[in-house]
Amino acid sequence: MQARSPAPEFPAALDWVNASEAPMLSALRGRVVLLWFFSYDNVNCWNLLPDLGWLENRYSDGLSIFGIHCPKYPHQRDGSAVLKAVNRLGIRHPVASDADMELWQRYEIEAWPSVVLIDAEGLLAAVLPGEGRRQDLDEQIAQLLDEAAERDLREYEPAIPASRPEARHPLLFPGKLLATDTRLFVADSGHHRVLECNHDGRILRQFGSGDRGYWDGRNEECGLADPQGLALRDDLLYVADRGNHAVRRVRLENGEVETVLGNGEPGRLRPRNAEPTETPIGTPSDLAVVADKLYVLSTAQNQVWELDLTRNRVDVFAGSGKLALQDGLSLEASFAQPSGITTSGLQLIIADASSSAIRLVRLIDGRVTTLVGSGLYEFGDASGNRDSARLQNPLAVAMDPRGIVFIADSYNGKIKALSLKSGAVRALNVNYRLLEPGGLSIGAGALWLANTNAHEIVRIDLASGVGKRVPIGE
């Protein structure tokens, strides 16, 4: 076996966002330590969390897990933003903000996510990049704990949890939303439910029990997990059930909720004329309906899928699956974590989060073009034309009948407006503080916004720019 080297200690400058005391590796002798390096915008990091939770439960008497957040975007250097993300993702182990990437460099990490295993003597045992490695991690942790026990080094005390929770709110990290002439549907993502409200914020119905789960049922007697995108076709409400890797359908007539796409497992393959409920999909984040077709953003697979609602068959409509900003015809094009979608006639407008771009997809042939954005690491906060405008992790788009695309420029805390006619981008002058806005919808003469990290919905008057909080559930 190759000799192990001492694991680098935690730098004193680390900001432990949810722990009352800064831990030290030197105080953890006798335990196996797992460090995972992540950026909270990254879907591959989200997908690692179920494995980490499983390992925490399985090895609660010998394993300590620590999250090390290493930012991609300037906005993520703020420890308070990292704490919001920790609570949104439901992380209950200590997390440090490594704003200057110091620990990242000490461990020579090269990709998000990456897992580091440290043995009971504080020696570096393994570095494993990527997701989907539960079995490998399980085997290596078990081996390291057995080694410690055989040498009478193992400590059996349970790990100390960490938590600095959000204050109680009627909504918890609301995601996408959908406004009609009389109704407002809200994905109350942190509470794992979808709310049907009137425009004054009175809750009329709830879909989802409020606890994370995956089962069909009626109204509150069904299970959702981190619901996001919403789309309406007649009296059918489609829900991107992101945490369950599924799309659900609500029959508004009677509140029945059923699964129409996905099987609860993360998808990795490309479907071709497949049966929808037997086809796994990776982290669906948003939806749009055009005629009898439902278009689904598979965020983890960097693709747009097409569900034929008449034939009940699903195909990839656009996207090679490669994480990239590349234009082209249908499957020749590439997306980078597509997260928000709206329609403009026979076109789809997509917020491509990881490329900080806005993309256009023609339904006639699937051709993809870029309206705003230049690359995976070309982000910022700038108005201007197509070449000079910059966004920072846009998460949602909404189409105004005048040919204006409103953009939730999430990490800039702004709403921006893109003219399809001129290609110009400008910031909307809104007299309201926005904290990582994640959802937009236009209805009843207003722009409705999910102010995600403030746990609220805001109605913005488009004529004046005045924003007013909608008192949902209050």
Same domain for 216 and 141: no
Asked if the structure places residue 410 within a domain, the reply is yes
Cis peptide before 280 (omega within 30 of 0): no
Same domain for 198 and 107: no
Same domain for 183 and 282: yes
Same domain for 223 and 335: yes
Same domain for 403 and 332: yes
Angle between the 134-150 and 43-58 helix axes, to the nearest 10 degrees? 40
Residues 186, 470 contacting (CB under 8 angstroms): no
| Cα end-to-end distance, the chain, whole Å | 62
- Predicted pLDDT at 180: 97
Q: Which helix (H) or strand (E) holds 143?
A: helix 134-150
How crowded is the C-beta side of 287, counted as CA atoms within 13 Å? 30
Residue 26: alpha-carbon gap to chain centroid: 34
Rounded to whole angstroms, the Cα distance separating 449 from 451 reads 6
- Predicted pLDDT at 355: 98
Asked if the structure places residue 168 within a domain, the reply is no
Give the strands of the sheet with 124-129, arranged side by side. 15-16, 95-97, 63-69, 32-38, 114-118, 124-129
Same domain for 134 and 220: no
Same domain for 328 and 434: yes
Name the domain boundary from 111, 133, 150: 150
Same domain for 60 and 107: yes
Distances (CA, A) of 68 to 132, 175, 339: 19, 25, 24
Cα Rg of the chain, angstroms: 22
- Predicted pLDDT at 389: 97
Same domain for 458 and 371: yes
Q: At 316, is the secondary structure helix, strand, or coil?
A: strand
- Predicted pLDDT at 177: 98
Number of domains within the chain = 2
Name the domain boundary from 109, 132, 150: 150
Same domain for 187 and 102: no
Rounded to whole angstroms, the Cα distance separating 165 from 468 reads 26
Q: Which range of residues forms the domain containing residue 264?
A: 177-470
Phi-psi sector, 432: left (phi>0), alpha (psi -120 to 50), beta: beta
Nearest Cα residue to 176 out of 306, 339, 415, 46:
339
Tokens linked to 471: 């008192």
CATH code, 46: 3.40.30.10
Beta strands at 425-427 and 414-419: parallel, antiparallel or unpaired? antiparallel
pLDDT in tens, the chain (474 residues): 467 999 999 999 899 999 999 999 999 999 999 999 999 999 999 999 999 999 999 999 999 999 999 999 999 999 999 999 999 999 999 999 999 999 999 999 999 999 999 999 999 999 999 999 999 999 999 999 999 999 999 999 888 889 999 999 999 999 999 999 999 999 999 999 999 999 999 999 999 999 999 999 999 999 999 999 999 999 999 999 999 999 999 999 999 999 999 999 999 889 999 999 999 999 999 999 999 999 999 999 999 999 999 999 999 999 999 999 999 999 999 999 999 999 999 999 999 999 999 999 999 999 999 999 999 999 999 999 988 999 999 999 999 988 999 999 999 999 999 999 999 999 999 989 999 999 999 999 999 999 999 999 999 998 888 999 999 988
Angle at 374 between CA 372 and CA 378, to 5 degrees: 110
Tokens linked to 92: 């209950």
Residues 185, 231 contacting (CB under 8 angstroms): no
- Predicted pLDDT at 463: 83
Q: Is the pTM higher than 0.85?
A: yes
Residue ranges with strand state E in 252-346: 256-261, 284-290, 293-298, 303-308, 313-318, 328-329, 338-343
What number of other Cβ atoms are within 10 A of residue 27's Cβ?
A: 9
Asked if the structure places residue 160 within a domain, the reply is no
Cβ neighbours for 146, distance < 8 A, ≥ 6 positions apart: none
Give the strands of the sheet with 203-207, arranged side by side. 177-179, 184-188, 193-197, 203-207
CATH code, 362: 2.120.10.30
Name the domain boundary from 98, 131, 150: 150
- Torsion sign across C-alpha atoms 454, 438, 375, 301: positive
User: Which residues make beta-bridge pairs with 407?
Assistant: 397, 416
Tokens linked to 150: 């055989």
> Where are the alpha helices (H) located in 301-430, listed in sequence order?
none
Asked if the structure places residue 72 within a domain, the reply is yes
Same domain for 206 and 349: yes
Asked if the structure places residue 464 within a domain, the reply is yes
Total count of residues recorded for the chain: 474
Tokens linked to 228: 């996001």
Asked if the structure places residue 29 within a domain, the reply is yes
- Predicted pLDDT at 2: 66
Asked if the structure places residue 165 within a domain, the reply is no
Tokens linked to 434: 């926005």
Beta strands at 328-329 and 338-343: parallel, antiparallel or unpaired? unpaired
Same domain for 240 and 287: yes
Asked if the structure places residue 162 within a domain, the reply is no
DSSP annotation of 224 reads B
Q: What is the DSSP track for 405-430? A: EEEEEGGGTEEEEEETTT--EEE---
- Predicted pLDDT at 361: 98
